[in-house]
Structure 1
Amino acid sequence: MNAARPLLSVRDLRVHFPAHGSDKGVVKAVDGISFEVPVGRTVALVGESGCGKSTTAYGIIGLESVTSGSIIFDGREISRLDHQARRALATEMQIVFQDPSAALNPKMTIGESIAEPLIVQGWRKADWRKRVAELLDRVGLPTAYAERTPNALSGGQRQRVVIARALALSPKLLVLDEPVSALDVSIRSQILNLLMVLQKELGLAYLFISHDLSVVRHVADEVIVMYLGTVAERGETGVLFDHPRHPYTQALISAIPLPDPRAQRARERIILKGDLPSPFNPPAGCPFVSRCPIRIEPCDAIRPTLQPVETGTEAACLVRAPAAGPASLPAAPAKVLSA
């Protein structure tokens, strides 16, 4: 959807795990998703807990093994790199985790934590000390903080340190896994604004993982809505939020709190009914079929693919995009099933 050159291209990615306590079967945590992250842009993966968004990110960054599919980063296939090649890739791709307290070693000084990737890459002490001072300044912290330990900093300051460490090797892509969800509400906007400034100044691409759609609307250029390891809908942020077409996307957006109490009370909240399927035994047809309020008979047997809809997004829904759906789908379904 974006004309910019893709820095990251994911094609039919699958990450499956052996089912716990079973001799056969797999948990399909990510089950065939495709997307691109253009240079200098932010693409967000959103959805409920357990939808596969973090597993997708970990597969890309190399923290989870990829079952199948292709991951092309800056023109190179990286889905099955060995340890040495993956280590070299760390200079171009880094991750920022959700909890900055857990991401920092409490026994190391801030300067040592930021310098850790530089030391691993063989930097001399004089060089990495200078780089640490530059990075602290860039993320808005005094250089004197290099001598402090994490417990002497606030949550927001610790997250700035984690961001500084991720920037140490001048990467092209940052994977941001819920980067503000562990912070106080008053601090979140400061960190988000910092990330946006850094992106503009350094030309960074972001893969932004979040369940908070109000945050995503503020920072993302494109949104990918995931459900049960698949993509339900994707599109440019403004279009997707203003004109969602997949019933799951509509339900997620209806849950975003409104600042006006009157508008909040007057709005129609979409409450999903039905059971959330297990990724060990997903539905044969549409992954959303058990909770969908507009499902039709073919939804039980036909798995929809992403197709353009009239609002400008792409939705994996037989009802919303019937003209481009499978040939076996009836043009005018005779029966709509109740949720």
Structure 2
Amino acid sequence: MIRAGRRHLVRTLADIAAQQGIAVQTLLNSGRHLAEGFPAPLNAGRTRLYDGEQVDAHLAGRPVPALPTTDDDEDLLDRQEAAALRGMPPQAWDRRKKDPAVSKHLVLAGGVEHWPRRVVRDHTPTPRRPTGSSGGGRPTGAGDQVPRDQLPARVAQLLDQDPALTAAGVTDSLGVHRNTAQAALTQCRADRMADVIEQHGVTAAQAAAALGYPAGQTRRAGVRAAAILRGRQARPYLAAVAHALHARGWMATATPPTVQHPEDDVCVAALTLDAPAAPAPALVWSERHGWRTATSRRHPLGRGAAWPPPGPGVRHLATGAMPAPADLVNALDSTG
């Protein structure tokens, strides 16, 4: 928290780096802010804040002065501290802070939201007006309030603030359907877990623990993280296939396809054959089945990316999940 009367002393790591004449990334890489004796941050959020008086003393080699320890009505509390004071989860405070009686007291310090202790402690929620409907949650039939293309970034922000974030918390904060919230949250956790697994060679459970994710909330994310890693391993192969198809004159560019995960444990990809002489509208790859032709350029995967049997416009190509690009081209050539 920021003690009363000390808001003007708040500094971010960017401020501290600028004070030393270095880039913030240089400071982060050096680990100086983690060294013994460096003042402790004022908060536990992603954007760490520091007391300027303490920082100045440390950098000058002087003893670091202690901060006041007595609670004051004008202390500034961040999201997690406000929730703790009220005895509620952070997601509940996300709803509470929207009340005009709270929002008008919002204070931004170092880009982080804060509220005076007295406001947090004494606030009484405004009674809701009757709506004529029963039950809580989003009204039946209401659309998502956040555009789909903005949802991953918004969920990532919430997850940064609270590693124990739930789908219900996403729904309450962003006004999206529970299923939409769960899918976005699983994807965000899986992407981050995959990064940690890849960089440090740990298990999915260890990656989840390192990120602060509760074990009970990461089973699906762990399965998807494994699929994400397999998809990353398949990228060079898919790029080689795209290059071969482009060289054959069936693709206008050699752009590799994006690996998709229609289910948590599945990797698929699609390549559009956009040249006039191409023998099929598109190709679909599955890590389980290999390659097939598709009848649609716009929706080559089909509903649920199910693997269809051979039929009109659908032909299974070559052998195995990853046939050599030349073999795939030859197999496709024979369909022309």
TM-score in terms of structure 1 length: 0.27
Larger proportion of strand? 1
Query: Would you tell me which structure has more helix in proportion to its own residues?
Result: 2
Compute the TM-score of the two structures, normalised by the length of structure 2: 0.27
Larger relative contact order, structure 1 or 2 (CA cutoff 8 Å, min sep 6): 1
